[in-house]
Structure 1
Amino acid sequence: MNRLKLYYDVLSQPSRVVKIFLLANKIEFEHKVVRLGKFEQKTEEFKKVNPLQQVPVIDDGGFILRESVAIMRYLCREKDVPIHWYPKESKAQAKVDEYLEWQHLGTRMHCGLYFRLMWLEPLVTKTAPPAKKVEFYKRNMEQNCDLVEKFWLADKPFLCGDEITIADLFAAAELEQPKLTGYDVRDGRPFLSAWLERVRTITSPHYDAVHNEINRIASKYNGQCPALVGKQEANR
């Protein structure tokens, strides 16, 4: 029997989702680390696995999937995991799908755009982003974090009900990403903060282990892009 292969980089939010899920559910898999910072996703070898040059990707005995939401739905159907992750009952499943569809233009887009502006682009340009642009992207991100606080978590312990689902993993990974820029989504949002702690506790110790790298980088560079930190030190 071929072991499941996971191609990933823990700096990728969806990659962390899949890895946490596999570890929390004791699904054995082969680690295939693709270092995005070294552009390993653009190598000819990886292009054979994913011509789209993105992670995560799974190879389940020759069956390859290249999109994280599709991957998670597939794993919930095909592997022996508790039903609460992706309920089979139509209405309960629809509530999970509701968040998964919303997130693309919600948490994923706005947290991701702010991270790109504050971290990825300066990494390439070695230049700090314009203040007006920072304000615009930050405001959009904060509005979406507030939606998680005031709408998605208004009357329930998890995004889609009383139990954790794959929607919670997707949201948590996206909301942890701004930590690299020095922004903590927990500040001033008690419901969101308590929910993140519930997700962390339920998936312990894997949640912390998988987020260890971004926590280490955030701590080392004090929430700034490494390229800008190095530039500031050189100018002193």
Structure 2
Amino acid sequence: MLKAYLDLMSQPSRALYIFLKYTKIPHTIHPVALRKGEHLQPEFTKINPFKVVPVIDDDGFLLPESVAILQYLCNKHNIHSLYPKDLQQRAKIEAFTHWQHLNLRFAGGGLFQSLLIQPLATGKPIDEARVQLSRKVLKASLGKIEQIYLKDTPFLNSDSLSIADILGVCEVMQVQMGLGMDVPTHYPKVAKWIELVRESVGASIFDDAHSFILKAGEKVKMMEVPVPKL
């Protein structure tokens, strides 16, 4: 049976979790607590020498990288609804998954790391320069999703749910839910898309995947972390 190693604090891990629950591919979840450094332990580095999550073990076939994992599982299990066989439709989905790494993911992850993870882990002051750079890239990224990827379609470059939506929504929720940033007010199309993805995969699956990041958001409020406005 497929083994999935992940941490729900991680955006790509949540995407894999949602994908597996939604598609009902038989699997077992193996939590890897990044905050405890479990990804650095020898038993995990044997599974993924890159020391990151998620990673899967499919009967001995080890594969890291969330985009590659979702593409592989769609191909293996013929899940064409999320990853179409049509080359042009597939290319549109892949265009987003390639773009988001150095845009949406870079920005949201950078803010979360700079404002919460690194100060707690190191005790050092917040890196304001990195925060402002990440904020700038985040605003630009959300703007492109609003104006380009959702211009003519309810989902990202598509009329139906795809792996691009599952990956992308987890990145946005990192700042909306994890940091309390007001995405809906400034990006109404993005807000509508988030709810559509939530309804499409199932509210219980979506909410369960994000329960841990919600707790992080509560901690941000309690600590009065200076989260910049959009």
With structure 2 as the length reference, what TM-score do the two structures score?
A: 0.91
1:64-112 Cα offsets, whole Å, 9 max, x none, are: 101111100001011253x220001111111011111111111111111
Q: Tell me the percent identity.
A: 36
- Structure 1 counterpart of 2:18: 20
How many Å apart are 1:165 and its aligned residue? 0.3
1:170-196 Cα offsets, whole Å, 9 max, x none, are: 110111111322323223211000000
- Structure 1 counterpart of 2:95: 98
Post-superposition, which runs of at least 4 consecutive aligned residues in structure 1 deviate over 3 A?
130-133
Please tell me whether residue 110 in structure 1 is matched to residue 117 in structure 2.
no
Separation of aligned partners in 1, 2:201 and 2:223 = 28
- Structure 2 counterpart of 1:77: 75
- Structure 2 counterpart of 1:56: 54
Please tell me whether residue 37 in structure 1 is matched to residue 29 in structure 2.
no
The secondary structure found in structure 2 opposite 1:186 is helix
Please provide the CA RMSD for this pair: 1.8
With structure 1 as the length reference, what TM-score do the two structures score?
A: 0.89
Separation of aligned partners in 2, 1:116 and 1:108 = 12
Query: Unpaired segments of 5 or more residues in structure 2?
Result: none
- The structure number with the bigger radius of gyration is 1
1:147-181 Cα offsets, whole Å, 9 max, x none, are: 11111111110002100100001110111111322
- Structure 2 counterpart of 1:233: none
- Structure 2 counterpart of 1:202: 200
Q: Which amino acid aligns with 2:74?
A: C
Is this contact kept in 2: 1:119–1:224, CA < 8 A? Answer: no
Give the aligned length.
224
Pairwise mapping of residues 1-236 of structure 1 onto structure 2 (< 5 A)? 3-81=1-79, 83-178=80-175, 179-204=177-202, 205-222=204-221, 224=223
Is this contact kept in 1: 2:106–2:134, CA < 8 A? Answer: no
1:22-65 Cα offsets, whole Å, 9 max, x none, are: 00111121111000000000001101101111100101111110
Q: Which amino acid aligns with 1:100?
A: T
The secondary structure found in structure 1 opposite 2:81 is helix
How many Å apart are 1:143 and its aligned residue? 1.5
Is this contact kept in 1: 2:156–2:165, CA < 8 A? Answer: yes
Separation of aligned partners in 1, 2:199 and 2:222 = 24
Is this contact kept in 2: 1:182–1:223, CA < 8 A? Answer: no
The secondary structure found in structure 1 opposite 2:30 is strand
Is this contact kept in 1: 2:81–2:161, CA < 8 A? Answer: yes
Greater shift, 139-148 or 17-26, is seen at: 139-148
